Structure 1
Amino acid sequence: MLIDGHGRKVDYLRVSVTERCNFRCQYCMPEKPFSWVPREELLTYEELFEFIKVAIDKGINKVRVTGGEPLLREGLENFIRMISEYKEGLDLALTTNGYLLPKVAQKLADAGLKRINISLDSLKEEVAAKIAQKNVLKTVLKGIEAARVAGLKIKINCVPLKGINESEIIDLLEFCKERGYEIRFIEYMENDYASKYAKGLDSVEIQNIIKEKYTFKKLERCGTSPSQEYELEDGYKFGIIEPHKDDFCSTCNRIRLTASGVLIPCLYYEDAQSIKEAIKAKDIKKAVEILKDVLKNKPEKNRWTENSEISARAFYETGG
């Protein structure tokens, strides 16, 4: 069992397989050139898997594959299969922008993927293109449908931005409600790599827009999810992720590993340590020592609540 320095059980590992992305979203990295880290700087799938096996043996029971855009890394279905075949019943999920899903959704499901989170920030082509800086909507919608046909459990992620897609909050909720997908609205997380013009809606503003048409109630928090759940009168549930609060930090159960081997204890924090050299040298014992030290120093809570600080974390390196 993995326990951090505050007595929290850590059983969730998020693994980024690439920092590359085929979108340039306003809230993530709109001005970053289309470049990539040299292959030799990344851990191979086999090297990542060596660490994942140890983490699972020590108590990790949920693994989420992220990016960047994870589907940009070739052979991802093989990596998914490695993980799924290692432990029966493992909660194995993927976060993606959905653009490449039409061609690979079935392959991922066949490899053992169970769940998928797909970003959908707009149902209007021009708005989606403004956010992603690319004409993406039709292909993303095809990707969502391909995931459904493949039998994957789908959640939709949306980042509401003022003056851009805030008028679509109800439309997006209804799109998901009609199809049986849970939608999670995510408060924009201020970071150094986002557009300086990006302004997000907070949880209260999102709720007030939904209240214009629907009555809903706040549900009690259960488990370790960072999402605050709400329920409409007909039973449909949606979530809001509120990083500017820290009430979910007390049950944080996750740790992050980047494609280049950096273990990150908190989405906000810069504090991290690399296991790259240990893994490259096949020194698993050393990698485990580093893991334990990272967990020991895992912060009690994030810093977005402190003076509205802006994170220097590059979210494209770690996913959400």
Structure 2
Amino acid sequence: MKWIRKIAGMQSSILGINERNLGFIYPNNARKNYKYADDKYLTKNILHSHQIACPLTYAMIDAIGKIEQAWQATCEWNELVIKPSKGAGGKGIMILKKKNDQWFSQSKPVSEQDIFTHIANIIFGIYSFGDSDVALIEEYIRPHDIFYQIFPEGVPDIRVILLKGVPLMGMLRMPTSRSDGKANLHQGGLGIGIDMKTGRLKEAYDGEKHITCHPDTKHPITGLTLPHWDEIIRMSLKAAMKFPLHYLGVDLVIDQRKGPMVMELNVRPGLGIQLANREGLKDAIYRAKQENLLN
């Protein structure tokens, strides 16, 4: 809500919720196609079919009776991510790391029974607005060293908002101790604006004010340049072209071994990206039209 109140008090170049919905989401995205972004399993199937890099899926669990067998087939890895296929806002994501045959989540030990219960809750729809869901067990992303230097916990991601195949605005979402290692803004993560031409990081917005350093490590943020930026833009464009959605957010990560990967799509990308960039989406759209990139 802080983001919404802040946006409401800014100049007319800021795109508001109603205008975003009525002017961009509804005209550009048929309701029947929302599922391709809302269901991560469907998203990944399309990404795989078009050879667009994304985290590997080790298991898909759609029934309680399949939990133990799927777990035994995947627990050979020492790092895993469990998430709901239809979850939103980072809810229901469990990051697991194994040390000396003991599993840990957010540095706290967890038993196999704890893990099975979490998977069952995903299937029951606890994190998906009460609808039954599918639990995904995925490859763990090891963030690029530039992110580890800024804050060594969690997995930062990059959101690129596109309209009709034109990248309008980008933002790096960075975890903090307040966000419990999650990158989501409403959970306390940072929104960091990105220069779309160079990949250079602008100031970070912490939900209340703009800052130039990470609040926990005090590591400088402003002025750093994201690695693989040209590839990130190309990958976001390719992903947007393969889905029947013409206004969307493409969320990407940078793995230290594999480079950029598409994590998921968002058919209702949030408005906080404007605060992170100190610029309204209306201005970005106007600029794209002036450059003859949009009709």
TM (normalized to structure 1)? 0.25
Structure (1 or 2) with the greater strand fraction:
2
TM (normalized to structure 2)? 0.27
